[in-house]
Amino acid sequence: MYKLLGSDQKEYGPVSADQVRAWIAQGRANARSKLQAAGSAEWKSLTEFPEFADALQGAATPAASPSPAGGTQAAAGPPKTSGMAVTSLVLGCLGLLTCGITSLVGLVLGIIALVRINKSKGQLGGQGLALAGTIVSAAFLLLAPIPAAMLLPALAKAKAKAGGIHCMNNVKQLNLALMMYATDNNDQFPAGSKWCDALMPYLAGATNAFVCPNGAPNRRCHYALNAQLAGRGLKDSQASPAQMVLVFECDGGWNVSGGRELLPAEPRHAGAYVMGFADGHAEVRRSGRLEQLRWEP
């Protein structure tokens, strides 16, 4: 009879020689396993027992000693960490920067990683990483609408401000072109029926100066000339030139001229209109300040 010392340092037996051979065949004992013969107090490796030499030689692969549960304790190293679990955690954390977009992928990878780790029977590690990735990804998916809701108004405000700056630059170019035209044409502004065409040479053919970024996309021009100054001389605009409207926003058209009635019903720039004046400057005017403007010489 024999006793076997398992890798858990527990004794198993006494068992017969046939049982030891069965353990060897099952891979639950190998040449490194310690054995004690009945009547002896000394533990020896299995290789020191001639009666088991044939069984050891015929064993397919060396294995560990039997465990208390009757299973086998593998002699392999620590399990390999699941790369999918790591990726899940990284993508979940990146959800903070992507408004939850990467978190959706991180959540899916985390769940898959957990399933594969559980099915690997100890061959794959990283269950904590996979669980963390799943939780973090799910959290960012739930919180994603909050930063998006905070970001969208800021983006809309920035876009509106950029559109106002662009429109202001357009009006300044048109103001300057009108002044240059008048200087070359006996100090007279162009007629209202052809003012856009008349300014083309002074804008170097740049028709984008006529287009407001917030205006209707199907209109060639989004500005109108003050009809009260169309075809008139520069001197007619010099009574309070800083308040005398020369160019202003309208719904659109080409060679459009008129007065305040042509202003868009809905201001295009956060409740305000961009207007150019006879002294050459341009500014943004809110609806409440339109009464201070002059339209007639």
Q: Is 246 left (phi over 0), alpha (psi -120 to 50) or beta?
A: alpha
The residue type found at 109 is L
- 2-58, which class in CATH? alpha beta
**pLDDT the model gives residue 291:** 87
pTM, 2 dp? 0.50
What is the bridge-based pairing of β-strands 272-277 and 245-249? Answer: antiparallel
Angstrom distance (rounded) from CA 43 to CA 155: 78
Percent of the chain whose predicted confidence (pLDDT) is above 70: 86
Domain map (residue ranges) of the chain: 2-58, 80-143, 159-292
What are the average pLDDT values for consecutive 10-residue runs of the chain, which has 297 residues? 82 87 85 86 86 79 46 52 88 78 86 88 82 85 66 62 83 94 95 95 84 90 96 88 94 94 90 92 88 90
CA 25: distance to chain centroid?
58
